[in-house]
Structure 1
Amino acid sequence: MLLNEKNAVIYGGGGAIGGAVARAFAREGARVFLAGRHLEPLEKVARDIRANGGLAESALLDATNGQAVDDHANDVAATAGSLDISMNVIQHGDVQGKPMVDMYVEDYLRPVSTAVQTMFLTSRAAARHMMQQRSGVILAFGGSGNPSPGLWLGGLITAFEAMEAMRRQLAVELGPHGIRVVTLRSGGIPESLPPDMEGRQDVANSIVDATLLRRAATLEEVGNAAAFAASDKAGSMTAATLNISAGALMDR
């Protein structure tokens, strides 16, 4: 198995993306620590993992609270013996569906400040343990790319670009300590869209229409790609992006 005896923390592990990644990590042998602000979604994912023979634990956590993040990372490392993988896929509170000229500045900036804050805090907490181990992987997730006409994403693209800048800086600083930092780039995952989202089918169609393969990545494919990126099979991959956009995002 790709991640046998690895310990992984997934912030936002109760969501669609986080849950898919957690299940894939567990299938590949990792012990998964799910963290988020709502216990029931976390426990649902954990129950699924345990039912299939995997190891999963849940914890209530606000990933924008530095002390809480540090305490949780310390507990994971003390309990499991190491912290090998960290991935943050919490929601950023973005407002979509409005052109920028009709937005409040607070709504535009919220996902940017949240993304930067939480990525900084969770990456810092993980890196402090990984530096002692001389190994580890920090994964980011985003859809950084050119905005599409008619698809109003508010501050989301700006947030993704900020996270990419942080990923490059982290990779440079942490590389000498044996720590890899990789981003999974997606042009959107239709399965992850909220069922009650206004215009959900139109958004899903726009995601598919932007691809070269005429289909978007599935949640299972996201999980599989994350498991590969976190594994020793990708041991030479850092300061890099793994493009899982089905061609929607051209490599730069």
Structure 2
Amino acid sequence: MRLAGKVALITGAGTGIGAATAQRFAAEGARVVLAGRRKEPLEEVAGRIGPGAALATPADMADTSQARAAVQAGLDRFGRLDVVVANAGGHGAEAVADTSDESWRLALDANLNTCFVTCREALPALMRQGGSIVVVSSIAGLAAAPGISGYVTTKHALVGLTRSIARDYGRHGVRANCLCPGWVRTPMADEEMDQLTGLTREQAYALVTKDVPLGRPATAEEIARICLFLASDDSAVMTGSVLVADGGATAVDLPTLAFDSP
């Protein structure tokens, strides 16, 4: 029960990593505030956890007034806030020359502004408790994949945002760490696999992980357990860190792939 008595706000909590993290945290004793733009998946996750331990707060967390209301709803229900998992993200799937102003703004809101606004609105409550922020970026925040300039740019920016929070608020008792997953089996990743025509979804996952040392994508539950580590006192001395969970993908020296044994 590593989060017994604590309260966590999780964005993008209706599906994928966010939903798995909410359930993992609740199993470890936390009460969870589930934020996201879609009401139905949030309520479904909250129902699985139970009304005494979960509060669904539909909100666009890139919008200051909605984010502030979600934070306050959690404080009103549970009386405190100890952890933020800034997990919401998406958009930005075009190369630079193909990106419209609207698409660029959507990428900024979905990936960067959502995290920034959520953390800003939560920091006063976190400072009262000595809290922890877990920012979920991506290995796209460390290297560039093709044709997703908005996603790559904003995921890189999350690393800088995490370090800025760690630098400025560590003396106030707030830790901030960044988690960079590789491929994870989520509904969003499933949609990307389905774009690889002529392949089943399983074949697509096998293809995108064929050069990854572990040879498979992560599950959302595996990433949730790393979020738990970063949120809990098990990582009490860590702040400003970037933790990679990619099955070894970024350890591979790409120019040497030609020398792999068949």
Larger radius of gyration: 2
TM-score, normalized by the shorter chain, greater than 0.5: yes
1:131 matched to 2:120: no
Once the two structures are TM-superposed, the CA of residue 61 in structure 1 deviates from its matched residue by 1.1
Q: CA deviation at 1:196?
A: 4.8
**How many angstroms apart in 1 are the aligned matches of 2:119 and 2:56?**
19
What does 1:75-114 correspond to in 2, within 5 Å?
A: 75-94=73-92, 96=93, 98-108=94-104, 110-114=106-110
Report which stretch shifted further, 101-110 or 209-218: 101-110
Residue 207 of structure 1: how far off its partner (Å)? 3.8
Q: 1:3-152 residue pairs with structure 2 within 5 A? A: 3-50=3-50, 55-94=53-92, 96=93, 98-108=94-104, 110-133=106-129, 135-143=130-138, 144-148=141-145, 151-152=146-147
Say whether the 8 Å CA contact 1:26–1:54 is kept in structure 2: no
Q: 1:113/1:42 Cα in 2 relative to 1: closer, same or farther (>3 Å)?
A: closer
Q: Once the 2 structures are TM-superposed, how far is the Cα of residue 190 of structure 1 from its aligned partner?
A: 3.0
Q: Is the 8 A contact 2:91 2:150 kept in 1?
A: no
The residue matched to 1:182 in structure 2 has which SS?
A: strand
Residue pair 1:186, 1:249 contacting (<8 A) in 2 also: no
Alignment of 1:128-207 (within 5 A): 128-133=124-129, 135-143=130-138, 144-148=141-145, 151-193=146-188, 195-197=190-192, 198-199=194-195, 201=201, 204-207=205-208
- How many pairs were matched up? 244
How far has the Cα of 1:74 moved from its partner? 2.2
Once the two structures are superposed, residues 112-140 of structure 1 have per-residue CA deviations (whole angstroms, 9 ceiling, x without a partner) of: 3543322111001111111223x001111
- Provide the C-alpha distance between the structure 1 equivalents of 2:118 and 2:104, rounded to a whole number of angstroms: 23
| C-alpha contact 1:141 1:183 (8 A) present in aligned 2 | yes
Deviation at 1:93, TM superposition (A): 2.8
What is the alpha-carbon distance in structure 2 between the residues aligned to residue 236 and residue 140 of structure 1?
Answer: 17
Aligned residue for 2:232? 231
Residue type matched to 2:100 in 1?
Answer: Y
Q: Distance in 2 between matches of 1:160 and 1:109?
A: 14
Distance change (3 Å), C-alpha of 1:74 and 1:108:
closer
Instruction: Give the gaps of 5 or more residues in structure 1.
Output: none
Letter in 1 for 2:61: A
Give TM-score, length-normalised by structure 1. Answer: 0.87
For structure 2, the residue ranges without an aligned partner over 5 or more in a row are: 253-262
1:214 aligns with 2:210: no
Q: Deviations over 1:215-242 (max 9, x none)?
A: 2221110111111110011111110022
CA contact (8 A) 1:112 1:162 kept: no
Q: Distance in 1 between matches of 2:59 and 2:105?
A: 23
SS of 1:249's partner is: helix
SS of structure 2 residue aligned to 1:204: helix
Cα 1:222–1:121, aligned 2, differ >3 Å: closer, same or farther? same
State the SS of the aligned residue for 1:59: strand
1-structure distance, mates of 2:127, 2:61: 21
1:244 & 1:140 partners in 2: Cα distance?
Answer: 13
Return the TM-score normalized by structure 2: 0.84
Greater Cα shift, 208-217 or 167-176: 208-217
Asked if structure 2 preserves the Cα contact closer than 8 Å seen for 1:17 and 1:192, the reply is no
Aligned partners of 2:225 and 2:27: how far apart in 1? 10
Q: Percent identity of the aligned residues?
A: 30
